[in-house]
Amino acid sequence: MDVIDALCLTAHRAGASDLYLRAGNLPQLRINDALHNLPDAAPITARELEEFAGRCGAPPGALDHDGSYVASDGRRFRVNLFSSLEARGAVLRPIKVAVPTLEGLGAPEALLTSWIQRPTGLILVTGPTGSGKSTTVAACLEWLNQHCAFHIVTIEDPIEYLFRSASSLFTQREVGIDTPSFAEGLRRSLRQSPDVILLGEIRDRASALTALEASETGHLVFATLHSSNVLDSLERLLRLFEPGERDGVQHVLAQQLIGIVCQRLAPGRRGLALIVEHFENQAVSRKWILEGKFRELAEHVGRGDNPANVTFLQSLVRLVQTGRISEETALATAGNPQELQRRLRGINTSSVATGV
């Protein structure tokens, strides 16, 4: 067994999310979002990394390459090879096969399972990098896999979970390996008779437009987006389009959007805790989206009179009340700690959706 293969097995046993290799340096693992050296390991050599690059399919002399590696125990890793100050480096990310449940994540299970059983429409899962968006989407798709006979097509960069078909059939495609781009993979997927489509990330106008068109033509579409809250999600999506296109986009979005779940992670009493803000598109909210009145929609979400609409602030209150996170952590996480303190004392002084 060679050195890098042994490190892959070590990374798996340690529950690492990433393995970092740099010629001349000790290997490092990312565990619970913190980097750890492996003091008992020897520094990785340039020759070991060059040989490893060849096994990952990198052309000779390539400075950057995205590939994959299958360890000796059969586990798959997504690999990014790069050069830094003329030294070869690599980051390996395990592709997970154990998909968590919505309940185990602390996600709004009843709400999400009602959304994902709809035959058509668009579901957005949003948040900053590292907020667990891919994990929430994977839990939704695995619920469908256990309960529905669907063809589920995913376009991802990178593939983060490897699904095993149960009731549903999965076709997983990785950008750069199986398809040149999100937009092209999404266009091609429409010819593969899918029931459900996952677009790993909306990055540009082309992928956003194709996702909207796919939801309009009889498919259930999941997509992720980098944004800070529900209001920001809608505004960022719209900004991908030219001003002259936005009226048409708002019309499609008003009709096809099922809902948005925006999420963040915070230290909890038992690992990381999921903080969510979510909104279900129904009745009057369709009119606000059509007219671009997103501030009115945000105020509607913040009123707290509909369980389908929850702000980050309301989510933090529930997490403290149920003992998932400490009050100190909640106050450090909240964008408005004074308002959070008032809510925890039972005083509601704000009806506007408040970000974290």
For position 348, what pLDDT does the model report?
Answer: 59
> What does the alpha-carbon distance between residue 209 and residue 64 come to, in Å, rounded to a whole number?
30
In the predicted model, what is the mean pLDDT of residues 117-122? 96
Which secondary-structure segment (H or E) carries 129? none
> What does the alpha-carbon distance between residue 294 and residue 92 come to, in Å, rounded to a whole number?
40
The pair of three-digit structure tokens given for residue 269, joined into one six-digit string: 């009493």
> CA separation (Å) from 284 to 30, 125, 289, 290, 291?
45, 22, 9, 10, 11
The pair of three-digit structure tokens given for residue 144, joined into one six-digit string: 């469908």
User: Residue 127 pLDDT more than 90?
Assistant: yes
The pair of three-digit structure tokens given for residue 297, joined into one six-digit string: 């929609």
In the predicted model, what is the mean pLDDT of residues 24-39? 88
For position 356, what pLDDT does the model report?
Answer: 52
pTM of the model: 0.84
In the predicted model, what is the mean pLDDT of residues 16-37? 90
For position 39, what pLDDT does the model report?
Answer: 77
pLDDT top residue among 291 and 305: 291
Q: Taking the alpha carbons of 119, 121, 126, 129 in that order, is the dihedral positive or negative?
A: positive
pLDDT top residue among 95 and 304: 95
β-pair partners for 124: 223, 260
> What does the alpha-carbon distance between residue 260 and residue 311 come to, in Å, rounded to a whole number?
11
Contact assessment for residue 224 and residue 137, using Cβ atoms and an 8 Å cutoff: yes
For position 352, what pLDDT does the model report?
Answer: 44
Please give the DSSP secondary-structure letter assigned to residue 73.
T
All domains of the chain in start order, with CATH: 3-94 (3.30.450.90), 102-344 (3.40.50.300)
> Using CB atoms within 10 A of its CB, is residue 346 exposed (0-12), middle (13-18) or buried (19+)?
exposed
Contact assessment for residue 168 and residue 147, using Cβ atoms and an 8 Å cutoff: no
Q: Helix, strand, or coil here: 88?
A: strand
> What does the alpha-carbon distance between residue 221 and residue 187 come to, in Å, rounded to a whole number?
13
> What does the alpha-carbon distance between residue 222 and residue 122 come to, in Å, rounded to a whole number?
6
For position 89, what pLDDT does the model report?
Answer: 93
In the predicted model, what is the mean pLDDT of residues 202-208? 91
For position 52, what pLDDT does the model report?
Answer: 92
User: Residue 350 pLDDT more than 60?
Assistant: no
For position 109, what pLDDT does the model report?
Answer: 96
User: Residue 21 pLDDT more than 50?
Assistant: yes
pLDDT top residue among 327 and 97: 327
Q: Helix, strand, or coil here: 37?
A: strand
Contact assessment for residue 64 and residue 83, using Cβ atoms and an 8 Å cutoff: yes
Nearest Cα to Cα of residue 99 among 66, 132, 122 = 132
> What does the alpha-carbon distance between residue 293 and residue 37 come to, in Å, rounded to a whole number?
50
- Tell me the average pLDDT of the chain: 90
Classify strands 196-199 and 257-268 as parallel, antiparallel or unpaired: unpaired
For position 302, what pLDDT does the model report?
Answer: 87
* Virtual torsion, Cα 118, 119, 120, 122, nearest 10 deg: 40
DSSP H helical segments within the chain, as ranges?
3-13, 46-55, 102-105, 109-116, 133-147, 182-189, 205-216, 230-239, 246-256, 284-291, 294-302, 312-321, 327-333, 337-344
Contact assessment for residue 291 and residue 156, using Cβ atoms and an 8 Å cutoff: no
Could you tell me the pLDDT band of residue 331, with boundaries at 50, 70 and 90?
very high
Hey, what amino acid is at 273? A
Cβ contacts of 338 within 8 Å, gap of 6 or more: none
